[in-house]
């Protein structure tokens, strides 16, 4: 049972970390680099 919990945590934690990082980065870009986002939006899409 502990091994299943450990595996679940190891799988879930990186995914949650990536979600948080991408969310923070998107907020940061939206606030500070709107002109760059408009220019390079097609590349990032």
Question: pLDDT band at residue 38, thresholds of 50, 70 and 90?
Answer: low
Does this model's pTM top 0.75? My answer is: no
Residue 14: inside a domain, yes or no?
yes
Domain count, the chain: 1
pLDDT at residue 1, rounded to an integer:
75
* pLDDT tens digits, 17-28: 999 999 999 888
Residue 16: inside a domain, yes or no?
yes
Residue 21: inside a domain, yes or no?
yes
Residue 45: inside a domain, yes or no?
no
Residue 15: inside a domain, yes or no?
yes
Alpha-carbon gap, residue 17 to 36, rounded angstroms: 25
Question: pLDDT band at residue 14, thresholds of 50, 70 and 90?
Answer: very high
Q: Residue 9 is part of which domain span?
A: 2-39
pLDDT at residue 37, rounded to an integer:
56
Residue 30: inside a domain, yes or no?
yes
- C-alpha dihedral, 18 to 20 to 41 to 33, nearest 10°: -130
Between 37 and 20, the higher pLDDT residue = 20
């Amino acid at each position: 049972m502990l091994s299943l919990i450990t595996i679940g945590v190891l799988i879930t934690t990186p995914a949650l970390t990536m979600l948080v990082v991408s969310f923070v980065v998107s907020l940061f870009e939206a606030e500070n680099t709107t002109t760059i986002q408009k220019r390079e939006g097609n590349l990032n899409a």
